[in-house]
Chains A and B, each alone.
Chain A
Amino acid sequence: MSRARLPMDWEVARLRVLFAAMLVAFGVIEAALWRIQVARGPAYRRDLARQSVRRVRIPGPRGRIFDARGRPLAENRPAFGLALYLEELRPRTRRATLTGEVARVIEELSAVLGLPPQTTPADLRVHIQKRLPLPFVVWRNLPDTAVARWAEMGSRLPGVDLYPEPVRAYPEGTAACHVLGYVRRAEIDVDAEEPFHYHLSEMAGAAGVEKVYDHLLRGRAGGRLVRVDAAGYRYDDLGGTEPRPGHDLRLAIDLDLQRAAEDALGEHAGALVALDPASGAVLAMASRPGFDPNAFVPSIPADEWSRLAQDPATPLLNRAAAGAYAPGSTFKPIVALAAWQAGRAQAETTHTCPGHFTIGGARFRCWDTLGHGPVDMPHAIRYSCNVYFFHIGLATGPDLIAAAARAAGLGRRTGIDLDHEAAGLVPDPAWKRRAWRDAWRDGDTCNLSIGQGPISATPLQMAVLAAAIANGGRRVTPHLLTAVRAPGEDDFAPHPAPAPEPIGWPAAALRCLAAGMRDVVMADDGTGRRMRVAGFELAGKTGTAEYGRKEEGRKRGWMIAFGPVERPRLAVAMVVEDAVSGGTTVAPRLQRFFAAALGIPTPPRRNS
């Protein structure tokens, strides 16, 4: 084989030193192992056998949600349950079993409280098997009378104690329910890196602000080390880390405006959105029918959930942001702006309305079959004259109308901080070719010009449109969250809102529109005159859109509005299902809303 190479003496010596050093290092390990395993092994084994440590995860309390004036919309209330501490009930004799002992105590307690137990023997078996060191909660969320009765008579029973638990509470009940959303019991992340042995129940946002800002609202979980003995019973507490509560949120919602909005809707299905036209802050967002988020706490019974989820009236749907409907005549301001920008119409542009309009063999009617006669743009808005908008719509063409609608924010989500927002639809010839494989016809343009046909918009989008007309042509991003308070802080830190963006509407066109919309409300022959509030100049635009099957003749009444005209504080969109028309059904409701809303910030006290 290879020729022999005799290593030099110093090489041999150094290799031996190297190996010796490795052996010495192993010797050190061996010595340490001897010390740990043999010399102190019995101590370690005792530790392990008698005092094994279990880690219990304790969720941090959820942050609270306040309205713009600091009134609580969602908070935590202590609820009392009764729990059995199993280590105190462990069987004393060989004949007794833990299940037997526990069943006996539960029976006695049940008699004292006059309440049937909320748990089954199967629950108990699972608990003993999986969660032995934790108290077994037999009753949760006890009524005060039961707590009092237990304190009086039941406290002599061994191993039973009150079990306080924070519970989500919505003090205003159904108010702003779609904005707030609701919570559900959080899923346990079993594959988490941190090996917790037991988890106490935690709530997670499942809808609305509770869901969108769950990451802020949820506290940081703490942990407790519980020593258990060989049989698995709790031995003692070793302490641990405290949970941290979540962040508190302040919304733009003003509870007074919110209540006024919900009163305006009453029992009618529909929605109302009120924005601050300058910033896009959502001052009120109401949708009816609604639900009581308290019903989801601590958990919603299955039958109640299926009743809510399957109700044809869709009480869980937030019609204000997730419902997209044909806007009807409230879309006409967009058509007017599109025509103006295209150079096809101005304030003085006049068309004569004979009460009907014929194109391509189809006859379109104005809502007033007697006709409006010759009308200019402000009057066409005031009377909501369909024929006028057929003329200028056809002259402008569907692509420019669609472009103007998109510029105003229709056909895409506004970006509000809510889940399940609908985008709505702005149809144009390209869309019709794609979706219906059909050519766009003049009749489609006529439908689009009066906000009918496949076009749809959410009340929230229409409120953004109202705000843009009110604020001089800027598109706001509606938002709910205005400030956040970190745990342990005294003050809220403002939450930045996206800045409004100029749309580029001509100032003259806006002035003309605003004048026309003012007349809708303030003129005696305006379609929205029923919205008038004494002492205030308001502006609006009514709309009526058919929906459902034609023979049913169901209509949605719409209105967009803002006011006061000289210094708008509110921009509003409202839709009501099964309405007669926007002017008769919606205007009086908005009148009630504006009366309440404008009275609120400065109580009506006139210095004369």
Chain B
Amino acid sequence: MNKKQGISVRTVVAIGIGTAIFFVLMRYIPIPTGVPDTNVNLAYGFLALMGAIFGPVAGGLIAFLGHMFNDLTWGEPWWTWIVADGIYGILFGLTKKYLNIENGDLTARKLVLFNVYQIVISILVWGIIAPTGDVLVYSEPASKVYLQGITSIICNALSVGILGTILLVAYARTRSKKGSLKKES
């Protein structure tokens, strides 16, 4: 096979289908929290899985595009949170190498570390990047956006921690481990 330029065909398709699913999850099955514009989004558990399988480019674009389409259908593209979402996706993509889920090599230790990592990046993205963007760009009162941020941290970390973990385990089970076949002597 020739050396491919740019991202692989599989990644292109993963971005396309991933965005479609992310959009549908975000748009049609959000569970409201009571804080305006902040929902428990099952989309993030799915994002964790896509990032782990397809890497940072796919993760980042799925979140960015999915969130953008969702906002567009509501008529309000909220760019600071869309960009924050893209960063969140990229950060999930960085787990690909470590989790090595394609080879079904998922241990309890990896899952625990993954969950620690996801809590850290949730705090970083939803607690710092997104609300700070709102204060700087939209000039909204800090206490309001940080409340939205904190709610988002809890919701998204829960979504990733529960649904993401379930999905990762279920996906790893469908993959065969590297070196699981032995040559009979």
Q: Do A and B come from one complex?
A: no
Task: List A residues at the B interface (Cβ < 8 Å).
Answer: none
